[in-house]
Amino acid sequence: MVIFGASGDLTARKLIPSLFNSCRKQRLPEDINIIGFGGSPLTDEEFKNHLLEGLAKYAAFRFTKEQWQFFSRRLSYLQGSYADLESFKKLDTALKKIEGGPANRLFYLATPPTVFANIIDLLGETRQLEENNFWRRVVIEKPFGTDLASAKELNQKIHRVLDEDQIYRIDHYLGKETVQNILVIRFANTIFEPLWNRNYVDHVQITVAESVGVEHRGGYYDNVGVLRDMVQNHLLQLLSLVAMEPPASYTGNALRNEKVKVLSAVQPINSLQAVVNHTIRAQYQGYLDEPNIDPASTTPTYTALRLFINNWRWQGVPFYLRSGKKLAEKSTQIIVQFKEPPMPMFPLSSCQNCTPNTLVLYLQPDEGIHLRFEAKVPDTVAETSSVDMEFHYADSFGPSAIPEAYERLLLDALQGDTSLFTRADEVETTWGLIDPILNIWEQDQAPPVSIYPSGSWGPEEANRMLQQDHRDWLIGSKEHIRHTT
Ligand code: NDP
């Protein structure tokens, strides 16, 4: 395995802790070698020490000196340039020496995206991607493009030297246990799926809320904004898993076919009127004072969207998506709100308290599931009250049951399972939904960016968008589901 950009943050924070933990669990191939490649001048020892410091900071597990020694024997570092053919020849020679014969190779692109195409080009030119009784795979970090045109261009470039099944575009959200659990809830149970459609579901809300601001990422974030940073990848991935049809099998292409199918059925927001009606953008108060932010920046740090899916299952059911920084709490959740009973059978006074059934899938923190339903209040004639049924991963499987998302994804890439990686057509379909909104937001006639207070649940306009539909934003937490309006 070769990691490009190995001196960087992702390698120390996520990749090495995940690989090391898999090694401790005896899940890594025994004969694996991990070669860090980068421009920084590092010896093997300096590289290992840097990674060990990272483990002390970022690893969520305790380990012994012996375990580290066993793992770190597999690590080495090679200095080179991402733009220099000679460096890639040197890499090939070094790999052949380590391998001592035909061997599989996994290349991980943990560099800024500006050099992705270059690295793949040079790997192709030095014939390191040709498969011949052994496999060659490339994991590509996000972001994959900055719009539809750049994503297509990058796809075209990499398809010159790689087949689609050699490419592993990573969105670490898909490696989270609870995201995969969406599929298990839907397709390993029979009680939910019959209700999972326009006949019973009133609407769906997907919230990815962060409590922090841009922190040290200001320079990057100001050019990107929330739609590119969160919606194009994470929120649309969640939407596709919640809304897709059951795949014929749990295999990479069957799953991804269904995801692409449902994403293609999302009604595009591609006119000024649609943008005015169905999108909200806002910036947190104080954003302009953050380091490396243009003082006149209009980059949104919050967005809310109302999406519709034009297919039989979901016709007319709104999917409300929202994501923002500096919100009241850090929480990722999907809420499926069911329709109210067709007839108010109980006396009017009690029905005023009647709340629709709601299913919450908590993705983070406190991963779990919450179902709210109505029950009779004891010692009344027919008064009802909402009660809650909860499942929390930590309670059922222990507090450290949930592994780091990268652990699963790295093992999948090594084993050739593409299910949790994004395919070319999928990434282009999601950019195709985001691009028109971004373009219309740039126009003078577009509604201006509004400002919301830090620590709030976003701008008033987002509340109004739901209130127009006689609904409210909801957030679930242990023991209750509340409005955030
Ligand atoms: P870094 O900024 O830490 O860069 C990684 C390495 O790439 C650096 O150590 C440096 O290595 C090299 N590098 C940096 N800037 C440039 C440049 N302009 N041109 C060429 N090489 C450069 O990035 P991260 O490790 O944070 O992220 C790597 C990738 O992973 C990015 O695509 C990012 O979006 C993605 N990612 C990161 C996450 C994280 O938690 N950090 C989370 C999710 C995704 P050297 O100088 O030694 O060559």
Nearest protein Cα to ligand 1, atom 40: 10
Q: Which residues line ligand 1 (CB under 6 A)?
A: 5, 7-10, 13-14, 38-40, 82, 110-115, 141-142, 172
160 part of a folded domain: no
Nearest protein Cα to ligand 1, atom 30: 110
165 part of a folded domain: no
Are 124 and 206 found together in one domain?
Answer: no
Tokens standing for residue 22: 């898999």
Residue ending a domain, choose from 87, 120, 141 = 141
The number of the ligand 1 atom at minimal distance from the alpha carbon of 13 is 40
422, 445, 90, 107: which is closest to 271 by C-alpha? 445
Question: What does 172-216 look like in DSSP terms, one character per residue?
Answer: GGGGSHHHHHHHHHHHS-SSSGGGSSTTTEEEEEEEEE-SS--GG
Q: How many domains does the chain have?
A: 2
50 part of a folded domain: yes
Nearest protein Cα to ligand 1, atom 32: 112
The number of the ligand 1 atom at minimal distance from the alpha carbon of 143 is 34
Are 127 and 181 found together in one domain?
Answer: no
Are 86 and 180 found together in one domain?
Answer: no
User: 338 CB contacts (<8 Å, ≥6 apart)?
Assistant: 195, 200, 201, 202, 356, 357, 358, 359
For residue 323, what are the β-bridge partners?
208, 303
Are 218 and 84 found together in one domain?
Answer: no
The number of the ligand 1 atom at minimal distance from the alpha carbon of 7 is 9
CA 260, CA 237: separation in Å to the nearest integer? 10
**Predicted pLDDT of residue 352:** 59
CA 438, CA 449: separation in Å to the nearest integer? 13
Domain containing 474 equals 174-404+417-483
Identify which of 2, 10, 139, 144 to mutate to test ligand 1's pocket (most ligand atoms within 8 A of the CB): 10
Are 136 and 236 found together in one domain?
Answer: no
286, 321, 351: which is closest to 433 by C-alpha? 321
Q: What is the pLDDT along the chain (485 residues), one digit of tens a residue?
A: 999 999 999 999 999 999 999 999 999 999 999 999 999 999 999 999 999 999 999 998 999 999 999 999 999 999 999 999 999 999 999 999 999 999 999 999 999 999 999 999 999 999 999 998 899 999 999 999 999 999 999 999 999 999 999 999 999 989 888 888 899 999 999 999 999 999 999 999 999 999 999 998 999 999 999 999 999 999 999 999 999 999 999 889 999 999 999 999 999 999 999 999 999 999 999 999 999 999 999 999 999 999 999 999 999 999 999 999 999 999 999 999 999 988 777 765 555 556 899 999 999 888 889 999 988 889 888 788 888 998 888 888 887 777 889 999 999 999 999 999 999 999 999 999 999 999 999 999 999 999 999 999 999 999 999 999 999 999 998 778 888 87
> What are the φ and ψ backbone dihedral angles of 40, each rounded to 5 degrees?
-65, 135
CATH number of the domain encompassing residue 267: 3.30.360.10
Are 125 and 256 found together in one domain?
Answer: no
CATH number of the domain encompassing residue 112: 3.40.50.720
**Predicted pLDDT of residue 354:** 67
48 part of a folded domain: yes
Are 130 and 181 found together in one domain?
Answer: no
In degrees, rounded to 5, the angle at the alpha carbon of residue 222 between the alpha carbons of residues 220 and 228 is 80
The number of the ligand 1 atom at minimal distance from the alpha carbon of 116 is 32
Are 46 and 110 found together in one domain?
Answer: yes
Are 267 and 376 found together in one domain?
Answer: yes
Assess contact for 395 and 388: CB atoms under 8 A: no
Identify which of 9, 40, 404 to mutate to test ligand 1's pocket (most ligand atoms within 8 A of the CB): 9
66 part of a folded domain: yes
Are 80 and 212 found together in one domain?
Answer: no
Residue ending a domain, choose from 121, 141, 161 = 141
91 part of a folded domain: yes
Q: Which helix (H) or strand (E) holds 359?
A: strand 358-364
What's the 420 CA to ligand 1 centre distance in angstroms?
22
**Predicted pLDDT of residue 292:** 95
Are 107 and 43 found together in one domain?
Answer: yes
410 part of a folded domain: no
Identify which of 4, 35, 43, 111 to mutate to test ligand 1's pocket (most ligand atoms within 8 A of the CB): 111
What's the 90 CA to ligand 1 centre distance in angstroms?
22
Burial of 192 (0-12, 13-18, 19+ CB in 10 A): middle
Q: 159 catalytic, yes or no?
A: no
146 part of a folded domain: no
What's the 288 CA to ligand 1 centre distance in angstroms?
25
Residue ending a domain, choose from 116, 141, 166 = 141
State the catalytic residue, choosing from 50, 172, 203, 234: 234
What's the 9 CA to ligand 1 centre distance in angstroms?
6
Nearest protein Cα to ligand 1, atom 16: 112
Nearest protein Cα to ligand 1, atom 38: 10
**Predicted pLDDT of residue 481:** 87
What's the 186 CA to ligand 1 centre distance in angstroms?
36
Tokens standing for residue 342: 């067709």
Are 433 and 391 found together in one domain?
Answer: yes
CA 217, CA 121: separation in Å to the nearest integer? 28
Assess contact for 154 and 144: CB atoms under 8 A: yes
